[in-house]
Amino acid sequence: MIKVRLNRPEFAYDIHSLVKAFYPAEDVNVCAGEKKEDNISKRDEQPVTGHASILFDKNSVHSVISAPDGTVLNEDRLVSEKMDDRKTARNVLKTLLYRQLSAITGKKLPWGNLTGIRPTKIPMDLLDEGKTPDEIRASMQEHYFVSAGKADLAVQTALREKKILDRIPYRDGYSLYVGIPFCPSICLYCSFSSSPLALWKNRVDDYLDALIREIEASAHLFDGYSLQSIYIGGGTPTTLEPMQMDRLLSALERVFDRKNVLEFTVEAGRPDTISAEKLKVLREHAISRISINPQTMNQKTLDLIGRKHTVDEIRSAYSLARDLGFDNINMDTIVGLPGEGIEEVRSTMEELVKLKPDNITVHSLALKRAARLNLMKDQYMDSSFFNTSQIMDLTRQICAENGLYPYYLYRQKNIAGNFENVGYAASGKEGLYNILIMEEVQSILALGAGASTKLVEKDGLIERIENVKDISNYIDRIEEMIRRKQVIPGKVTNLRQ
């Protein structure tokens, strides 16, 4: 375990993320200000492998990194006259710490000292300032230690996002997210708010009762704004039976004005939940975009991670959707899955592009604490979990060769190899909801268990209104979930001021 002490608690997350990126196998304990150290017994039992002390004063930040025996490995200080400005202090801290950790480990991280989820924020802001793409690439490399390849990826993605957003009056709109928290089985790497359908088979209709109650009570909350995109996710929405899906979609149509909706996505997700009857229901309700997510086209890996379907079922579900007229299909894949290296990823990508999907989203495995793969990692010690620049470059190259280019990009904590998740799409087939949620430029009304409504204020600050994650709690406390959102009309008025 690596222990870090600092005297400005607001930077604890940045420090934890950056140290963890250099030492992914280590627990990192950040003790900020007067906060007591983490007293979790398992951590207390772990040997301390390093110490860091980070102190801010009026015009500088001073950092000392030491070995367990107290030997100083690196000591450095950076001075700035604007240390009272939070943004400046944060950037000075991350520059200093990255420089130290890179010197100690000999590593250079692909995204440098960037620790947030939105690598495109920097190029988007600089484009608005009138900077050229070349100037932005150079700035990202110089000020944030981002590699040339990742700087180019961020700039190319930002350019495409900006082009799309410039065509849409998104400031006058909002998006709608509806969550279906059921899956046919829970994947080994998953930590989302989803539950095995078998446990809830007899309560799905109860859940829909509560969800439709929330839908009906929430339709007026953004009066005066136009609904521009709808996303039904989960979980796996297509665990619903055809009649249940029809009931849900009919309720949305009944209470929400869809005349300005530019995109309506349903995440079909698991091939083993897709049938002609369900797809026909989606077509009848004018769903414009679906996802069919294999994650990998290697059967051995599918079996290991708990996907209860075959590679042939993936192909069959995709062909069925095409035959029924769906002309915007996304397919997700994950790199960094247990036992998969560059050849397995190459095989998956080559199989996917044969199908000619309109979007391919490449996720780098991010192991959250709640994922079974993390909780039971001792059982999988013989399996490799890694990602490399070569793998990420390969996925980008294969997508480009097949007319798919990056249009949105985000990162997560504990992501394999400190890389990123990238959505690739053919021209005109980009997922608008994905851009809006990642760029955080539009408010999102989110309904269902575990859903998080996001109100984007004029100054860019975001206020969240959370629904409970537990399905039974959501059903039993639905009136409370509805009351939580009744503050929205007054807050929405302020978004335009």
171 closest CA partner among 224, 218, 127, 120: 224
pTM for the model stands at: 0.90
Identify the burial level of 259 via C-beta atoms within 10 angstroms of its C-beta, where 0-12 means exposed, 13-18 middle and 19 or more buried. Answer: exposed
pLDDT confidence of residue 193: 52
User: What are the Cα distances from residue 18, in Å, to 41, 100, 111?
Assistant: 24, 11, 11
pLDDT confidence of residue 379: 52
To the nearest 10 degrees (0 to 180), the angle between helices 204-218 and 242-255 is: 10
pLDDT confidence of residue 339: 87
> What token pair was written down for 40?
């979790």
How far apart CA 313 and CA 272 sit, in angstroms, is: 7
pLDDT confidence of residue 130: 96
Q: Are 181 and 149 within 8 A, CB to CB?
A: no
Residue with the two structure tokens 């390849």: 149
pLDDT confidence of residue 39: 42
pLDDT confidence of residue 116: 82
Q: What phi, psi does 403 have (nearest 5°)? A: 75, 20
Tell me how far the alpha carbon of residue 452 is from its chain's centroid: 13
271 closest CA partner among 221, 241, 236: 236
76 closest CA partner among 58, 64, 90: 64
Q: What is the pLDDT along the chain (497 residues), one digit of tens a residue?
A: 999 999 999 999 999 999 999 998 889 999 986 544 444 444 455 788 899 999 999 899 999 999 999 999 999 999 998 888 999 999 999 999 999 999 999 999 999 999 888 999 999 999 999 999 999 999 999 999 999 999 999 999 999 999 999 999 998 999 999 999 998 766 555 555 555 666 777 889 999 999 999 999 999 999 999 999 999 998 899 999 999 999 999 999 999 999 999 999 999 988 999 999 999 999 999 999 999 999 999 999 999 888 888 999 999 999 999 999 999 999 999 998 888 999 999 999 999 999 999 999 999 987 554 444 444 455 544 445 568 899 999 999 999 999 999 999 999 877 767 889 999 999 999 999 999 999 999 999 999 999 999 999 877 789 999 999 999 999 999 999 999 999 999 888 777 65
To the nearest 10 degrees (0 to 180), the angle between helices 148-165 and 432-439 is: 110
pLDDT confidence of residue 381: 46
Three-state DSSP class for residue 153: helix
How far apart CA 98 and CA 112 sit, in angstroms, is: 8
How far apart CA 367 and CA 364 sit, in angstroms, is: 10
Q: Which domains does the chain have, with CATH numbers?
A: 2-107 (3.40.50), 168-483 (3.80.30.20)
Three-state DSSP class for residue 483: helix
